[in-house]
Amino acid sequence: MKLKAAVTLAKSADFSIRELELEGPRAGEILVRVVASGMCHTDLVVRDQHYPFPLPGVLGHEGAGVVEAVGDGVTKVAPGDHVVMSYGGCGRCHQCLQGEPAYCREFVDENLGAVRLDGSVLYAGANGPVHGNFFQQSSFASCAICREQNVVKVPQDIDLEILGPLGCGVQTGAGAVMNTFKAEAGASLVVFGAGSVGLSGIMAAHAVGCSVIVAVDVIPNRLAMALDLGATHVLDASGTTDVVADLLDMTDGGADFSLEATGLPDVLRQAVECLNSRGVCGILGAPALGTEVTLDVNSLLFGRTVRGIIEGDIVPDIFIPRLIELYRQGRFPFDRLVTFYELDEINQAAHDSESGKVIKPVIRMPR
């Protein structure tokens, strides 16, 4: 079958809209007609090859669409079902079997391996093979191949165009607060970086009743959005000489939790130093491989914790429906983060995301 896709041809190159060939689903696979796909920071990180992925390739990993066909052995969904595609795990390793697929032993191969299970390349282009299977979906395309492990059936009365970001960025921020921290009513949280991940954490903190929620950023419109979505305080980091001192004051001596969503080492240090003596800092930012950070050991010695968080520690089949129900109730308005672009506007979407003009670009696919 023929499809349209945004192809990454070379490191840091603009996306190029191309027509590709794709086989139907093989055993264990699902063919999804993509309605829309969120653009995540990780797409741009991989475009720029900060994380290795073979090129040319099709990125995109926040896809939502309609099941067109299923391969042999698939029982979870059927043609016509509405689905959100998320990340994949092997389903066999110790972490997967313990209900922690985000820490799958094969996570890198499963999500950045760029080939099907049998080792074959997903697409054929005019100039040769084009890699896919990015996060088991490559959803910057009008059709995607995914598997049962990374597809979530969703209600058909919710607009599919807004649901894709639940598959990565939104679930990561919200899951960090609700699953990793298990934040309770009255807790305090500082979020560094008020993009889609950070703002999702703020919405989750508001939903569970955190009493002090601070957003730290340098972009005024994002700080304004944070206040609208439940932040009790905001801090423009460009307008202060001592971020940590200001945050300690706002949180009455230190926060219970902090989220670092910028990927900047200096900001990570601030996220640790603004905690109270037994606070927990969650790392969500994705810097280039090899990025190092310096911390004062004594800031950790007295009980502080720093831990990395992948995909919000969530199981997609459980957590995504919960977020949808919170959205129905008006308690998790993640649709307010979204700005729509057509597929042929994808490079503008990337530029607007990187400049901070928009929070969550969502790419509509041609009908």
Digit-coded pLDDT (tens) for 222-236: 999 999 999 999 999
Task: Report, as an integer, the average pLDDT of 62-70.
Answer: 98
**What is the overall mean pLDDT for the chain?**
96
- pLDDT at 118 (0 to 100): 84
Domain spanning 173-309 has what CATH number?
A: 3.40.50.720
Whether residue 176 contacts residue 306, with contact meaning beta carbons closer than 8 Å, is answered with no
Instruction: Please report which confidence band the pLDDT of residue 288 belongs to, taking 50, 70 and 90 as the band edges.
Output: confident
Instruction: Please report which confidence band the pLDDT of residue 261 belongs to, taking 50, 70 and 90 as the band edges.
Output: very high
Using CA atoms, how far residue 282 sits from 3, 96, 199, 204, 302, in Å, is 39, 21, 15, 15, 17
Task: Report, as an integer, the average pLDDT of 335-341.
Answer: 98
Euclidean distance between CA atoms 22 and 51, whole angstroms: 25
Q: Return the SS3 of 329.
A: coil
| Predicted confidence (pLDDT) at residue 66 exceeds the cutoff of 90 | yes
Global pTM value: 0.95
The 3 state secondary structure assigned to 125-181 is ECCEEEECCHHHCCCCECEEEEEHHHEEECCCCCCHHHHHHHHCHHHHHHHHHHHHC
Tally of CB atoms within 10 A around 366 = 11
CATH architecture of 2-167+333-364: Alpha-Beta Complex (3.90)
Whether residue 164 contacts residue 323, with contact meaning beta carbons closer than 8 Å, is answered with no
- In one letter, which amino acid is 315? V
Tally of CB atoms within 10 A around 225 = 21
Work out the angle at residue 332's Cα, subtended by the Cα atoms of residues 361 and 338, and round it to the nearest 5 degrees. Answer: 10
For the chain, first and last CA: distance in Å? Answer: 15
- pLDDT at 117 (0 to 100): 81
Euclidean distance between CA atoms 313 and 204, whole angstroms: 14
User: What are the boundaries of each domain within the chain?
Assistant: 2-167+333-364, 173-309
